[in-house]
Amino acid sequence: MMINRRSLLRRGAQSAVSLGMSSVVPFSLLGSAGARASDDYRAVVCVLLAGGADSYNILVPRSEQAYAQYQARRSDLALSRNDLLPLEGALDGVSFGLHPAMSSLQQRFNAGQATLVTNIGPLVEPTTRAALEAGNVRLPLGLFSHSDQILSWQTATPANRAGTGFGGRMLDAMPGANVGLALAGNISLSGNNSFQAGAATGSYALSAADGVRRIAGYDSDVFRRYFDRFLEDPNASTLRRVYGNKVQSAIDTGDVFNSALEGATALSTPFSDHYFSAAMKRIAELISVRESLGVTRQTFFVTYGGWDHHEDTLGQQADMLPALDSGLGQFQVALDELGLSQSVTTFTISDFGRTLTSNGKGSDHGWGGNAMIMGGAVQGGQLYGHFPEQVEDNPLDVGRGRFLPSTATDAMYAEVSRWMGVAPESMGSVLPNWANFEGSTQGAGLMGMLTG
**By CB under 8 A, what part of segment 387-416 binds another protein?**
398-400, 402
Site string for another protein, 147-176 (x = CB under 8 A): xx------------x-x-------------
Residues 6+ apart with CB under 8 A from 241: 18
Per the document, the length of the chain is: 452
Quick one: 329 or 369, whose CB is closer to another protein? 369
Q: Where does this chain touch another protein (CB under 8 A) — which range of 60-68, 188-196, 322-330, 421-429?
A: 188-196
Instruction: Please report how close the Cβ of residue 28 comes to another protein at its closest, in angstroms.
Output: 24
The answer to whether residues 175 and 22 touch, using CB atoms and an 8 Å cutoff, is yes
C-alpha angle 337-338-343 in degrees, rounded to nearest 5: 120
CA count, 13 A, side-chain hemisphere, 417: 29
Subset of residues 129 to 148 that bind another protein, contact rule: CB under 8 A:
142-148
Instruction: Please report how close the Cβ of residue 383 comes to another protein at its closest, in angstroms.
Output: 26
Quick one: 77 or 338, whose CB is closer to another protein? 77
Pairing of strands 59-61, 85-86: unpaired
Subset of residues 10 to 29 that bind another protein, contact rule: CB under 8 A:
15, 17-20
Phi, psi of 443 (to 5 degrees): -110, -5
Q: Nearest CA to 208 among 145, 300, 140?
A: 300
- 73 counts as binding another protein under rule CB under 8 A: yes
Q: Which of 341, 358, 370, 406 binds another protein (CB under 8 A)?
A: 358
Q: Which of 21, 50, 256, 404 binds another protein (CB under 8 A)?
A: 50
Q: Which of 365, 403, 407, 412 binds another protein (CB under 8 A)?
A: 365
Question: Binders of another protein: how many residues, by CB under 8 A?
Answer: 84
Residue 399 DSSP symbol = S
| CA-to-CA dists, residue 254 to 142, 181, 206, 325, 407, angstroms | 38, 11, 9, 31, 40
Q: Nearest CA to 243 among 225, 231, 252?
A: 231
- 36 counts as binding another protein under rule CB under 8 A: no
List 346's β-bridge partners, or say none: 45, 374
Site string for another protein, 212-231 (x = CB under 8 A): xxxxxx-xxxxx-xxx-xxx
Instruction: Please report how close the Cβ of residue 282 comes to another protein at its closest, in angstroms.
Output: 12
